[in-house]
Every structure is written in structure tokens, then in C-alpha cells.
Amino acid sequence: MNDNENIRRFRDRTEAGRLLASQLVRYASRPNLLILALPRGGVPVGFEIARTLHAPLDIFLVRKLGVPGQEELAMGAVASGNVRVLQSDVVEAFGIPQSIIDAVTAEETRELARRERAFRGDRPSPQIRGRNIILADDGLATGSTMHAAVVALKQQEPERIIVAVPIASRETCDEFKSEVDEVICLRTPASFYAVGLWYKTFLQLTDEEVREFLRKADEFRFSPASDHSIRVN
């Protein structure tokens, strides 16, 4: 990666989140600020932002609606808050009937609900309307999940959406500039390859670790003098 030799890899998601948070401190005074992380990898990043800005942290889940037989191709997505987004051009191009759309939606909605329970437990879904949202992940390659999250969030009428990631391809980062109010990508290497390559430690989080980050974020807001760092990456 000769063209990327000047771009240092992050030690882990915690370091990446802290560096990203340092670029977001001006939002600490914004009313109704909410940090939303895309699980699982975005949660440690979002935790550090929430900790620095002393803001609430929650998760925002997105499930792709795949075209039957070509599931890698998205005809839409479902997201937290009972939101469904359809790609009308894909639906029309493949002549997908409403019955199939509804069946795939039902299946993915069940899976989304299962993951919501696994990650959130008894926590109620956050109120989005009128909020200043910082939407965080650990990186953007194609950005398809983040795109779906942004579209779904807009349907819930937030005041402002800021997409914040430690690492992204240049092209993907630029695409979001016309979709949201602000995009913060700390590093945009010329040759991107994959998000995980830009971290020295890039482990998969468990459901319990996601819940622990959310619990510690709540705890930190009410005891700011304490150190509630979590070393899970």
C-alpha cells in the first residue's frame, strides 16, 4: 500500500473513537444530541464519542431487503423505528410483486427485532424527531448500510444528521456530503480495500459486549468523574 504509507492504522476501535470524538466536541453544546451507532463495530466508536460529548448513546439497526435469488442486491431496507425504505428502481426493474416484498420485509423485520432485543434488552427505542444525530460506524467501504440508515433516519425527521467514521474510502465519504448535514471521515486512504485492514485489532463484538457499552454509556452520563473505559475491540 505504497500510496497509503503515510496513513497510520488505528490501534483499535477505542482509539479510533477517541480521535473521532476530538473532531466533534463542538457538538457537545447542541440541544437534543444523540449518538447512534451501527452495531456491532460502530458501538465502541460511538461510545467514545458519547463519553467525550457527554451525550446519550444508542444503536440504530438496519437490515437489507434482498432480491429473492439475488440476496446480495438490495431492493430496500428495514431499520430501527419500524421504518422501511424501498428502492423503487430495483423493484420495477425486476418486477417484484408486493407479496414478495411483504414476505421479505416480514422476515427481515423479525430478524431486526431479534437483534434489537439481543443488543438493547429492555431499553426503549430512542426518540429521533427533532434530535441532532451523530451516526457513527467503525468505517465505510461501499457505505450501503450507512446509506440505508440515513434514509431511514430522515423518515423520522431529525433536526440534523452528522455521519462520523474514523476511516472511509474517498469516494464513499464524498457521496454522503450531499445526503446529510455534515460528514466527518478522519482518514480517507487512496487505496481502501477493507475497513478491518486499517485497525491493528479488529475483533467481532458479542451481543453482551454491545449491551455493556450501552450500559456504561448511561452510567457515565450520570457519573462524569468516573472512568468507564471499556477495552473491547
Ranges in the chain annotated CATH 3.40.50.2020: 2-61+128-220
C-alpha cell at 116: 434489537
Q: Give the residue-averaged pLDDT of 208-230.
A: 74
Task: State the CB neighbour count (10 A cutoff) for residue 114.
Answer: 10
User: In angstroms, rounded to a whole number, what is the distance separating the alpha carbons of residues 28 and 21?
Assistant: 10
Percentage above 90 pLDDT, the chain: 68
More confident residue, 225 or 125: 125
Looking at the chain, the whole-number percentage of residues with pLDDT higher than 70 is: 92
List, for residues 124-164, the tens digit of each pLDDT value. 888 999 999 999 999 998 888 899 899 999 999 999 999 99
- Taking residues 10-16, what's their average pLDDT? 97
pLDDT band (50, 70, 90) for residue 2: very low
For 4-18, what is the mean pLDDT? 86
Enumerate the β-bridge partners of residue 160.
Answer: 132
Buried-state track 36-49, b at ≥16 Cβ within 10 A, e below 16: bbbbbbbbbbbbbb
CATH 3.30.1310.20 segments of the chain = 63-120
pLDDT over threshold 60, residue 97: yes
Give the per-residue pLDDT at 222. 63
Helix then strand count (H, E) for the chain reads 7, 8
Q: How far is CA 122 from CA 48, 93, 118, in A?
A: 23, 41, 9
CATH tag for 2-61+128-220 (out of 3.40.50.2020, 3.20.20.100, 3.40.50.2000, 3.40.50.150)? 3.40.50.2020
- Whether the per-residue pLDDT at 219 is higher than 60: the answer is yes
Distance separating alpha carbons of residues 201 and 216, to the nearest angstrom? 21
Report the amino acid identity of residue 162.
Answer: I
pTM: 0.86
Average pLDDT, the chain: 89
Three-state DSSP class for residue 191: coil
43-81 pLDDT per residue, tens:
999 999 999 999 999 999 998 899 999 887 889 889 888
Question: What CATH architecture does domain 63-120 belong to?
Answer: 2-Layer Sandwich (3.30)
